[in-house]
Amino acid sequence: MRVLVTGGAGFIGSQVCQVLAGAGHDVVAFDALLPAAHRSPPAAPPGARLLVDDVRDAAAVRAALHGVDAVVHQAAMVGMGVDLADLPDYVGCNDLGTAVLLAELAAAGVTRLVLASSMVVYGEGAYSCAEHGAVRPDPRATADLAAGRFEPGCPRCAAPLVPGLVDEDARLEPRSVYAATKVAQEHLAAAWARECGGSVVALRYHNVYGPGMPRDTPYSGVAAIFRSALEARRPPRVFEDGAQRRDFVHVRDVARANAAALDSTVDGAPGFRAYNVASGAPATIGEVATALADAMGGPAPVVTGGFRAGDVRHIVASPGRAAAELGFRAGIDLATGLAEFASAPLRA
């Protein structure tokens, strides 16, 4: 079938295009080539045709949808950004762009959508208190972070909490501008599905890394930031105490998850369904920095004690629903993936 991949020339989108083309689909990549992600024009992803245009342009989207059977929507402005001056760009790219796309999908009668979402929709992860059971901690106070008190406490008794796994039924609680736009994308897509009988599979990516990550930009992922420092013979700078936990998932596994999600829309019931896309094997940020430094023979990480507003402490996912319903399991373990990533080409 013909599949339109928005953001198809990007870090994740280009890998999705390659996997879908390899599965025999007719793939069209649609990308605005925004400077935050593309400092030089990329080649078309292998096996795909590239259309250079903006998903916020309704006429361009309408033309691109001609003959299309399904859409994989990767186009977005990602990362924590620089400061609140980025807010209009995030909302414009992510939410207005998604709204334009959904309106054109409805007009064209295209009812199958895979949406790139993110683990940031959850805010803090899952926690339990010895006395009060499952709890949702309050946002961490700046005064606590500045004093080096990084672990959230129970909102009822302030006791230490035990972090656990977040599943897809957890409450959405965005704690950054980017996170708020991803929640809005999910809500818009769910409303579209209800109105037109469409099928939406939302993939909540955890920390994606791998070949082709953009380098040297404030919108890069932490793995690319660490690698850029090591290439310059500088120690990676780790925020807080380095013990914050994340789930790192390789970009080729993410591309496979998109292919599985697309397949599920063929006979899938109309409506909205979300899935964590994660490895199921969490690591601390400090461990990732150390592993990269070792692989590259670079200086050891420096734990700075610094922090960023909007960061969360621990966010680790349950990958069970994706395994049970999509048949997706990550196949690249972190040690193997980081050893490859240490010398893999990055995106300028």
Q: Which of 90, 127, 178, 205 is catalytic?
A: 178
The answer to whether 178 is a known catalytic residue is yes
Task: Give the list of residues 6+ apart from residue 226 with CB closer than 8 angstroms, or none.
Answer: 236, 288, 289, 292, 293, 301
Residues contacting residue 256 through CB under 8 Å, at least 6 positions apart: 19, 328, 331
The sign of the CA dihedral 155, 246, 316, 244 is negative
Give the span between the Cα atoms of 214 and 11, in whole angstroms: 7
Amino acid at 152: P
Question: Which helix (H) or strand (E) covers residue 188, if one does?
Answer: helix 177-196
- Given a contact cutoff of 8 angstroms between Cβ atoms, the answer to whether 48 and 24 are in contact is no
Task: Pick the closest to residue 305 from 243, 233, 245 (CA basis).
Answer: 243
Q: Are 55 and 6 in contact (CB under 8 A)?
A: yes
User: β-strand 126-129 against 133-135: which pairing, if any?
Assistant: antiparallel
Residues in the chain: 348
Rounded to 5 degrees, φ, ψ at 263 are -60, -35
Q: Which residues are catalytic?
A: 178
